[in-house]
Amino acid sequence: MKLLKGRDIDAFIQRFESRRLQVSREVETAVQNIIQQIKQRGDEALFEFALKFDQVDLSSIPVKVPLQDLQSAYDELDSQLLKVLKQARDNIKSFHEKALPQSWLSWEEDEIVLGQRVMPIERVGIYVPGGLAAYPSSLLMAAVPAQVAGVKEIVVVTPSDADGNINSTILAAAHELGINQFYRIGGAHAVAALALGTESIPRVDKIVGPGNIYVATAKKILFGQCGIDMIAGPSEVLIIADVTANPVYVAADLLAQAEHDPLASAILVTNNEMLAETVLDQLSEQMQKLARSEIISQSLSHYGAVIVVDTLEEAIDLSNRMAPEHLGIHCDSAWDVLAKIKNAGAIFLGHYSPEAVGDYWAGPNHVLPTNGSARFFSPLRAQDFLKVSSVIRYSKTALDQHGEAIQCFARHEGLDAHAASIAKRMIP
């Protein structure tokens, strides 16, 4: 990890932006084939892909996890961890309940009624990643907002090991949430099964949750067949820090991000070179004591940086340009900096608000826009599990009053039938 100034900053940003999801033709072709096979052959293809990619034989193990397995995992879970899961769930629930949109109707003059009707999506699929690590927190972050929104049917998929085993904490969390449709399947084939439906797995209306490049590509291709949350890429954190920042805290937060993945990006932007040098020393010292130091080292060397700029304003401008997934503000004037931030997924204010608080506990979602997409995407919210219908009611008096204007507009666009549908109602 290097200290960067001047022209070196632009070169780093280009490398950072190169992480953005650029699907190779080979990956896209492979995913297209998987989707087509699932569409044509359903479970038969699904089980073949499970054997091929995960080495799990679903002809001898049920793809749907029995409810008693969820119950057993729950009963055997460490009591302290169970207490933590419950409190985290309550925190997430409380946060998302505060922002639910409501149905409304407005009675205008001449008996015109306008409004919106807000309804939950009926069936949602949640993809919980497996592989290098298991993330029960991802299940909470996706399922709880869906439940707050009123979704009645939640279908969870996650990859198992070759023996069909799934992380017991994820199973216990599912039981605590009351989820009764849980499937031991992962990868692009699981996404295809959710979007298209098979004999074993019901078709859903929307798929949420992060995954690898094959999962992300499948979601992208299948968007329109069902809804999706976003196309997730490698994770990132950017920290803006001034002279008041504690270098021990800053380094710890950068390392916490870097341990996710070799493609993860951890960036410090500061107007204080002494702080930058001290953070570099702290990174080297703290990393040696961490279990995932090899992954951290790869992440920091490829996509990590300590950037020194002249002013705090430059740091803010750089952050807005990069639109980070996670933004830490380690400044004495954190609230003033916040007022100037335009693009960020989640913002962590002050010296005692590490990213891990948001990952597990505070309540705001940790499913966030990555790779600069915070310019136009938002964190996963309860609103993402709702759909809105417009409500329009015109009286005869109102239609007579506005009908000529509507017909004028319709005829201007060459749509005579539209105009006629108004005119026929205006005949005395």
325 part of the active site: yes
Least trusted range by pLDDT, from 117-121, 154-158, 205-209, 227-231:
227-231
Quick one: 25-101+125-228 is in which CATH superfamily? Nitrogenase molybdenum iron protein domain (3.40.50.1980)
Q: DSSP of 207-263, one letter per residue?
A: EE----HHHHHHHHHHBTTBEES------EEEEEE-TTS-HHHHHHHHHHHHTT-TT
Q: Considering 175, 189, 260, 326, which one is annotated as catalytic? A: 326
Domain 3-20+233-362 identical in fold to domain 25-101+125-228: yes
Which of these, 199, 64, 203, 89, lies nearest to 146 by C-alpha position? Answer: 89
* pLDDT tens readout for residues 306-333: 999 999 999 999 999 999 999 999 999 9
Strand partners, 155: 125, 181
**Residue 58 to residues 31, 130, 179: CA-CA distances in angstroms?**
21, 17, 21
pLDDT at 336: 96
Tell me which of 3.40.50.300, 3.20.20.70, 3.40.190.10, 3.40.50.1980 is the CATH number of domain 3-20+233-362. Answer: 3.40.50.1980
* pLDDT tens readout for residues 174-227: 999 999 999 999 999 999 999 999 999 999 999 999 888 899 999 999 999 999
pLDDT at 21: 57
pTM over 0.85, yes/no: yes
pLDDT at 20: 66
SS3 label, residue 391 = strand
Predicted confidence (pLDDT) at residue 132 exceeds the cutoff of 80: no
Kindly list the domain boundaries of the chain, sorted by start residue: 3-20+233-362, 25-101+125-228, 394-426
Q: Considering 325, 351, 355, 366, which one is annotated as catalytic? A: 325
**Residue 270 to residues 11, 371, 425: CA-CA distances in angstroms?**
18, 21, 67
